[in-house]
Structure 1
Amino acid sequence: MKNRNEFDQALPVQVRLPVQWGEMDAFGHVNNTQYFKYFESARIAYFNAVGVMKDMQDKQLGPILAETSCRFKRPLVFPDDVLVGAGITEYHDYGFMMRYGIFSLGQNAVTSVGSGRIVMVDYNTGGKVKPDDELLAAIRTLESVQ
């Protein structure tokens, strides 16, 4: 993702967040841990869009974040607003791989990209479960809207 158009094409769910003064560190830019919080906001918005949060309440089936990564391309600083996006790149037996991106509106640039491996679990047993057909269909519909 090199520009806003590619960002929008790759990430069907996006949230707009303000960069807060308190998110910056002693080096004068947003602390690297904050990027994972931004990713979390986009991930939860994605899960809401495809009904995962409702399944957690109704069926006690939901996601866990098994691993995550971030590639920092440009520093973020206050003041700014960012778009944080999420999308699905791969399907696995017990979950999927998510892609994330952060786009700085102030810099008009993609500032970071990341990924997260999601595993679906039964919160009653703690065991892995396969995503059901309804969830997979909702993801495929959302991803095809791009």
Structure 2
Amino acid sequence: MSELLEKYPIITNVTVAWGEMDALQHVNNVVYFRYFETARLEYFNRIKLSVNLKSSLIGPVLGHTECRYKLPITYPDTLTIGARIVDLQDDRFTMEYKIVSTKLNQVSTIGKATCVMFDFEKNTKTSLPEEVRKAIITLENIDI
């Protein structure tokens, strides 16, 4: 399974809950966005991107998100989720996710999300803080 996620610096494990399945006995489509969120927050923690609005009035907001379902997931299973940044711009970055089923030992889902940096005090988008940009470059091992 490690070869399926070798280019992802953040790896998160999630246990599928019985209640996440729908009437067709597979994980409901909206649950995958929660799985992506779990991996995204793990990434944010690693790069110290504060999402606490009490201490920082600048943070990421989702501008776009998408999901491609390749295989249905059913209970019980443990999912391994890889997260990485595939595009880094002045005011935004795009993350890519890959979900691998432990039970099936295959990629079940891939997704993307574009996060835009937002100044909540001025109510407008803003530039990515330099320390966050450097943390992403270091984590992703990007040559710039």
Cα separation, 2, equivalents of 1:54 and 1:15: 19
Unaligned runs of 5+ in 1: none
Return 38-47 or 56-65, whichever deviates more. Answer: 56-65
Cα separation, 1, equivalents of 2:64 and 2:49: 19
* 1:4 CA drift (Å): 3.7
1:98 aligned counterpart, secondary structure: strand
Match of 1:6 among 4, 7, 10: 4
Cα separation, 2, equivalents of 1:82 and 1:36: 13
Judged with a 3 Å threshold, the aligned counterparts in structure 2 of structure 1 residues 5 and 128 are, in CA distance, closer, same or farther, namely same
Cross-structure match for 1:93: 90
Cross-structure match for 1:69: 66
Contact 1:61 1:122 in 2 (8 A): yes
Question: Which amino acid is the alignment partner of residue 114 of structure 1?
Answer: G
**Residue 118 (structure 1) aligned with residue 100 (structure 2):** no
Contact 1:53 1:62 in 2 (8 A): yes
Match of 1:103 among 97, 100, 103: 100
| Residue-by-residue CA offset, 1:55-98 (whole Å, 9 max, x unaligned) | 75532211001110011010100000001121100012211111
Cα separation, 2, equivalents of 1:33 and 1:59: 29
* Deviation beyond 3 Å, 4+ runs, structure 1: 54-57
Question: Which amino acid is the alignment partner of residue 48 of structure 1?
Answer: N
| Residue-by-residue CA offset, 1:31-53 (whole Å, 9 max, x unaligned) | 00000000000001101110112
* 1:54 CA drift (Å): 6.2
Question: Which amino acid is the alignment partner of residue 118 of structure 1?
Answer: C
Map 1:1-146 → 2, pairs under 5 A: 4-7=2-5, 9-53=6-50, 56-144=53-141
Unaligned runs of 5+ in 2: none
The root-mean-square deviation of aligned C-alpha atoms, in Å, is 1.6
Cα separation, 1, equivalents of 2:73 and 2:138: 32
Residue correspondences, number: 142
1:26 aligned counterpart, secondary structure: coil
1:40 aligned counterpart, secondary structure: helix
Q: Percent identity?
A: 38
* TM-score, reference length from structure 2: 0.92
Structure richer in helix, relative to its length: 1
Cα separation, 2, equivalents of 1:55 and 1:138: 18
Contact 2:79 2:99 in 1 (8 A): yes
